[in-house]
Structure 1
Amino acid sequence: MWANLPRILTLVVRGFVLTLAVLTAVVVIRTVTFPSYQTSPPECKTTDPDFIPADEERLARFTSAIQFQTVSYERGVGTPQELAKFVRFIQKSFPTVHSSPMVRRDVVGNYSLLYRVEGSDASLQPYMLASHLDVVPITEEANWEAPPFSGQLKDGYIYGRGTIDAKHSLMGSLEALEFLLSRRHQPKRTLYLAFGHDEETGGHFGAKVIGDVLTQRGEKIAFILDEGSPVGDGLAPGVSKLLALVSVAEKGFLQLRLEVNEEGGHASMPRSESAIGILSKAISKLEDNPHPNMFGTGPEARMMEYVATEMTLPYRILASNLWLFSPLVAWVYSRKPQTNAFARTTTALTRFNAGVKDNVISPEAVAVIDHRIHPMSSVEEVMEFDRKVINDPRVKLNVINNRPPSPTSPYGKDSPTYMMLQETIQQIYPDALVTPTFMVANTDTRHYLNLSSAIYRFNPYVMTPSDLPRFHGVNERISVQNYERVMNFYYHLIVNMDKPLELKRHGHEDEL
């Protein structure tokens, strides 16, 4: 046996070298031949006869919309008077839309708006563009560069709460429809515009009612587009171009109340364990044992593959060969909170309450855990994981609220609706790369899941890393150029939907 050892080692080394050579060859070939998922539709230009400029009149309407303080504070608590005034303003601001015999307007849930624009071809399934009227409360008003409800135009930007969440899409889609109808054009496919009034607190009295109304009408929607992920500038490593992120799914959530009840008493005679200590150990276990890394099981892997051909070389090699490098990418994703949220179900301790007096041992300790559930996981799996990790029957787990992850909508070249959306994006952003992803937050689409299997979440404006804190934060703003793109995006989307869903494009040679 020992005499054959050198020969065995030689064979092992040769086998290793051969395997390494084959793997290297496969990686190189896949990197070089990996397909592009991008398209090159006709670009929307400012010289086009159907270009919608952000002129003084349109900007005035948008800045006025920002001045309505349509704040949602908590479920069922908002600003009804401001909502009513905003609804009247919308009706007054778009006379062609509101006087057209093709348009039916319904106020539902007291303040939400539902428009139906009748198409000329009743055989075509309708589609829906969604947004919302409400905004989140103001924080740190003293730190704003312009008053938060002023709609002030400053250095090429419009400042104010709602500029990017989400009055830009509400006003932009109405501007597009007003422009279209003023050209005496009737869409072939029926279009719905749905604007809920309490999205920021769950949409229970707005979007849910809209969904119920459409369900009662027996409507089935070809596709739905709501607010969502943006066109990112510098948001992805290895990509120098703009990255248009189309969310094809949403994470679910599970909010748990963890409770421990033990004997209390005077601090001078403590027991070996306390309610606070027991619960603290349970929380520590949950934080030390994150949920499994699920990178590669959902749309997050496709997000890389769809832009692989445009990445710098090291990233291109990884993205083109996730079959081999997926564990490495999954590890890298787990290192930062922003990317870790795409790789797994996350665990956040949001509340911890215990104790009533400095010298009294608390008989009760309570904590709240907020889980955001990966699209390929479930509420039941998350609950079972937590129980096994805590492994202490003294810690009671009670569900406060939960919602399963949304179904994943179709995407890619086999999905006409996704490709139609992609080509519309690339008409407005010709240098952008379009890729599927999923939302780590939630939108009103949760109330529309029974209406369509093709639901997308996308914001047609550019956002840089420095812009991210403005979302729900201080100095929310949108550039005039971005708002102009928003209007033209919705216009092109409506026009593109006149064509059969067979990957055909809207070209400017086709006059309306």
Structure 2
Amino acid sequence: MEKMEKSDVPVYTGAKSNKKRNIAVAASLFTVALFWNLPSLARGSHSISGGNTPQVNKINFDSWCPIPEVSSTADDGLDSPSKFLEQDAILKQVERMAAAVKVPTESFDDNDDVDVDPRWAPFEDLHATLKEMFPLVHEKMKLDKVNKYGLIYTLPGTSENLKPVLFAAHQDVVPATSVEKWTHPPFEGHFDGKWLWGRGSVDCKNNLIGLYSVMEDLLSQNFKPKRTIVFAFGFDEETGGKRGAKTLGAELEKQWGQDNIAMILDEGGMGLDILGDYVYAMPGVAEKGYLDIILTIDVDGGHSSRPPPHTSIGIMSELLVELEAHPYTPRLTRENPFRNLLECQVKYSPGQVEAWLGQALAANEDEGVLGERLAETRADERFIFQTSQAADVIWGGKKVNALPESVHAEVNYRVSAHDAPLENIKEKAVSLLRPIAQKHGLALNVFGAIEEPATLSAGKLTFDLDQPLEPAPISSTNLDNPVWTLFSGTIRQVFENIPSLEGRTVVPVGDIMTGNTDTQHYWNLTKNIYRYGPGREGTRLNAHTVDERIEMLSHVEAMVFYYDLIRNFDQAGDL
């Protein structure tokens, strides 16, 4: 690895008080800015030429987007988290991250049970690596292994009256494909002096190793919490968590009961986006629903020299074209957390949003009209407020001169709350496709209900579904929720004081995730679920694809957040 010079490492000045926050700038900040290539623009930036718009200036937005006070530094006698940003500490994290990335804990869609499929074996190696790197965690925290590879660590608090806090991450990674296209091999754990490269470096061994490292440090200081701390680490999040987090959730509910965890923090969210003097911190407070609709056509085969007017592949193509001709429409409801983000941007960054946005929000413009307008200006964000529909899998036919007897397609839906329940998605698909099946004389099997055609059947169209999941409950971001106030106040405490963001105001605001995390199996444990991997824009690149990598400064900045969050929740009273 390349050596990092002392001048390349910024100095964390610690948190400032609620009332007076003196700005302390490290002497090396200019060098840091050049070396670490800080971002300058954020997701959702829609700069308007000429600055603030007339519509914005005519409306009083003072009541919009209240933000919490900055949390105070915990008075617990523990070390300042500034040590995590020192050169030696960063290089230690490089070693730990590289060791974890080198273990290829890939999870596959067709994995069999843990006692049957040999592809689970790398998780044994990862567990051995974790035990070697973090001896105090394994000595002082109680470890329960669930379904062989699921991990629950518990550090009991001294006060049984305080609800525990739970930190989640997952051990598995998506398979590394197109290996020849990677700049550095995906399981080498290469560090180039700034970036740590490899599969899982972003998703989600960054979070996993960060949490282990922070707890190892706390335990080295003889940390004895008042509030119980729980770690829950699944091993098949990338395939839905049915063997990992699902079994962990059941065990955690058995241990703690329903709604008896103060807060759960897992991966996710949109990190930290900079718009001028403001930084938007966007933890996920909800997730869209999920559904796969599986279509199968079965017909008689034959020689391709005597084909019917439409083969099964031709009919399936017609079905998919019909679905794509009827996409779901965007709609921004008042309940959608994204609306809160828009209100915050209008209030704090009025010159960088659409000229009409403030007026439209203030006037409570029709939800559908507002959704359509935003979908045009924010195409990359439209599926935050629109159900997505994607035909992702199709196969059929065995030989070019033989008519295909069976063809199979899978259509994935990520369901917005306003289109729920999932029954609505199923009914729409059936209503669109039934006439086509009837036109071709196909019988139907609609999720188990048989419908025969009026004439002799020419074949059958079957509807199946997989992995149905309703949209997640929305965790409250009101300032009268003490859990959110403490969580978001800690975000401000940490990120308004790290050198890379110093001088800016952090605006914590909930976001909605278009994908799903292991938290789908933890809904019963608490009403306060936050999905947040803190990181500046542009510092976590290429998750799930070639050249995945993380800026190691961003990794240790996240550790500062975990460290102060654990301490702040430990100092808080009943939540």
| TM class by smaller structure | 0.7 to 0.9
Counterpart contact for 2:68–2:479, Cα < 8 Å: no
One-letter amino acid matched to 1:38: I
CA 1:52–1:194 in structure 2 vs 1: closer, same or farther (change >3 Å)? farther
Q: Indicate the SS of the match to 2:283.
A: strand
Which runs of 5 or more residues in structure 1 are unaligned?
A: 1-23, 504-512
Partner of 2:262: 222
2:372 pairs with 321, 327, 331, which one? 331
Maintained 8 Å contact 1:108/1:209: yes
Is the contact between residue 106 and residue 113 of structure 1 (CA under 8 Å) also seen in structure 2? yes
The percentage of aligned residue pairs carrying the same residue is: 29
Asked if 1:212 corresponds to 2:247, the answer is no
Q: Is 1:52–1:487's contact at 8 Å kept on the other side of the alignment?
A: no
In 2, the alpha carbon distance for the partners of 1:240 and 1:498 equals 31
Aligned to 1:381: 424
Measure the CA separation in 2 of the matches of 1:32 and 1:307.
11
Amino acid at match of 2:290: F
Q: Secondary structure at the match of 1:122?
A: coil
Aligned residue among 508, 524, 527 for 1:453: 527
Equivalent residues in 2 for 1:230-309 (5 A)? Answer: 230-233=270-273, 241-261=278-298, 265=302, 271-296=308-333, 297-309=335-347
1:337 and 1:318 map into 2 onto residues whose CA distance is 15
> Secondary structure of 2:145's match?
strand
* Number of equivalent positions: 472
What is the deviation of 1:461?
A: 1.5
Retained in 1: the 8 A contact 2:55–2:355?
no
Say if 2:162 and 2:574, in contact at 8 Å, map to a contact too: no
The answer on whether the counterparts of 2:64 and 2:343 sit within 8 Å (CA) in structure 1 is: no
Partner Cα separation in structure 1 for residue 346 and residue 100 of structure 2: 40
Distance in structure 2 (CA, Å) of the matches to 1:38 and 1:191? 27
**Aligned residue number for residue 51 of structure 1:** 82
Tell me if the contact between 1:198 and 1:205 (Cα under 8 Å) persists in the aligned partners: yes
Q: Is the 1:172–1:486 Cα contact (8 Å) retained in structure 2?
A: yes
Q: Is the 8 A contact 1:375 1:407 kept in 2?
A: no
- Cα offset, 1:32, TM superposition: 4.4
Q: Secondary structure at the match of 2:269?
A: strand
Q: Which residue of 2 aligns with 1:20?
A: none
- Residue deviations 1:153-204 (CA, integer Å, cap 9, x gap): 2131111222111111111112212222222232111110111122222222
Shift in Å, 1:471: 0.8
Which residue does the alignment assign to 2:108? 73
Q: Which position in structure 1 is the counterpart of 2:235?
A: 197
Output the CA distance in 2 between the equivalents of 1:364 and 1:449: 39
Quickly say closer, same or farther: Cα 1:304–1:158, change in 2 above 3 A: same
Residue 41 of structure 1 corresponds to 70
Q: How many angstroms apart in 1 are the aligned matches of 2:545 and 2:570?
A: 38
1:44-443 equivalence runs, <5 A: 49-54=80-85, 55=89, 56-74=91-109, 75-76=111-112, 77=117, 79-100=119-140, 103-219=141-257, 220-233=260-273, 241-261=278-298, 265=302, 271-296=308-333, 297-313=335-351, 314-315=353-354, 318-319=357-358, 321-322=360-361, 323-324=364-365, 326-335=367-376, 338-376=380-418, 377-392=420-435, 393=438, 394=442, 395-430=461-496, 431=504, 432-443=506-517
Residue by residue over 1:408-445, the C-alpha shift from the partner in whole angstroms, topping out at 9 and shown as x without a partner, is 22223132222222122222222333221111111111
Could you tell me whether the CA contact under 8 Å between 1:249 and 1:375 is conserved in 2? no
Tell me which amino acid in the other structure corresponds to 1:434: P
Q: CA deviation at 1:449?
A: 1.5
SS of structure 2 residue aligned to 1:307: helix
Distance in structure 2 (CA, Å) of the matches to 1:176 and 1:270: 66
Change (3 A) 1:467 1:87: closer
User: Take 1:105 and 1:227, find their aligned partners in 2: how far apart are those partners?
Assistant: 21
SS in 2 for 1:353: strand
The answer to whether the Cα contact below 8 Å between 1:309 and 1:316 also exists between their aligned partners in 2 is: no
- What is the CA-CA distance between 1:273 and the residue it aligns to? 4.7
| Alpha-carbon shift at residue 39 of structure 1 (Å) | 3.7
> How many angstroms apart in 2 are the aligned matches of 1:284 and 1:452?
42
CA distance in 1, matches of 2:356, 2:375: 20
Residue 472 of structure 1: how far off its partner (Å): 0.9
CA contact under 8 A between 1:258 and 1:398: conserved in structure 2?
yes
1:247 Cα shift? 0.7
Secondary structure, counterpart of 2:66 in structure 1: coil
Cα distance in 2 between the residues matched to 1:275 and 1:160: 42
CA contact 2:94–2:191 (8 Å) conserved in 1: no
**CA separation in 2, counterparts of 1:171 and 1:273?**
55
TM-score w.r.t. length of structure 1: 0.83
Contact in 1 for aligned 2:331/2:370 (Cα 8 Å): no
Indicate the larger mover: 162-171 or 74-83: 74-83
Bigger Cα displacement from structure 2, 403-412 vs 435-444: 403-412
Q: Tell me: CA distance 1:320–1:457, structure 2 relative to 1, closer, same or farther (3 Å).
A: farther
Amino acid at match of 1:256: I
Partner SS state of residue 459, structure 1: coil
Give 1:253 deviation, angstroms: 1.3
The residue aligned with 2:33 is none
CA contact (8 A) 1:310 1:316 kept: no
The verdict on how the C-alpha distance between 1:32 and 1:276 changes in structure 2, with shifts beyond 3 A counting, is same
Of the structure 1 ranges 327-336 and 199-208, higher mean CA displacement relative to structure 2 is found in 327-336
Instruction: Give me the whole-angstrom Cα distance separating, in 2, the residues matched to 1:279 and 1:311.
Output: 48
RMSD: 3.0
Q: CA deviation at 1:94?
A: 2.1
Instruction: Assess if the C-alpha contact under 8 Å between 1:34 and 1:320 holds in 2.
Output: no
**CA distance 1:412–1:502, change in 2 (3 Å):** farther
SS in 1 for 2:168: strand
CA contact (8 A) 2:540 2:551 kept: no
Give the Cα–Cα distance (whole angstroms) in 1 for the partners of residues 120 and 307 of structure 2: 53
